[in-house]
Amino acid sequence: MNLQTAYYKTPIGIAKVIGDENGIQSVTVLDENAISDELLTLETPDCLKDCITQFEEYFNGERASFNLTVNPKGTKFQLKVWKSLLKIPYGKTRSYLEQSAALGDVKAIRAVASANGKNPIWIIIPCHRVIGSDGSLTGYAGGIWRKKWLLAHENPVKQQSLF
């Protein structure tokens, strides 16, 4: 199949989605000025329409999980790491150490962190939910500000009653 591309404007930039009938291969978020406005007006290819709809629901706070076929390209180890990211619930975080332990080897923490950094399907495969052991927002290919935004979106601070 030929890969198709769609663009969707989000609160954190322009999502560039690439995929085909076999699933989503890539989601990245670009700065607003990285593409021409005309690309945003192009019709979404049929194979990507469900993804764009689910992104719209996610960013509107109406969706907590994605129901899409993903087809990332990577090494066997990377695919295993990315699959483990799908087990982190919406609104929750895990440390790189916890993720490494869940994969069976706490000593693989650097390799796990490296694989997370190469995740080609942002947001859907939620690498933004992985943080440092001390709670710090370490590393995110899209920028720490986007990671912070996504985590706050998924777990908004509730206003507490003063009385």
Structure tokens at 72: 């990332």
Q: List the catalytic residue out of 127, 130, 131, 151.
A: 127
Q: How far apart are CA 5 and CA 24, in angstroms?
A: 10
127 in active site: yes
Distant-in-sequence, close-in-space partners of 114: CB < 8 Å, separation ≥ 6: none
Q: How far, in Å, are 4, 35, 40 from residue 43 at the CA level?
A: 11, 16, 8
Q: Which residue has the tokens 């709670």?
A: 135
Distant-in-sequence, close-in-space partners of 139: CB < 8 Å, separation ≥ 6: 113, 116, 117
Q: Which residue has the tokens 């935004």?
A: 149
State the CB neighbour count (10 A cutoff) for residue 146.
Answer: 19
Structure tokens at 31: 């700065």
SS3 (DSSP) at 86: coil
Catalytic residues: 127
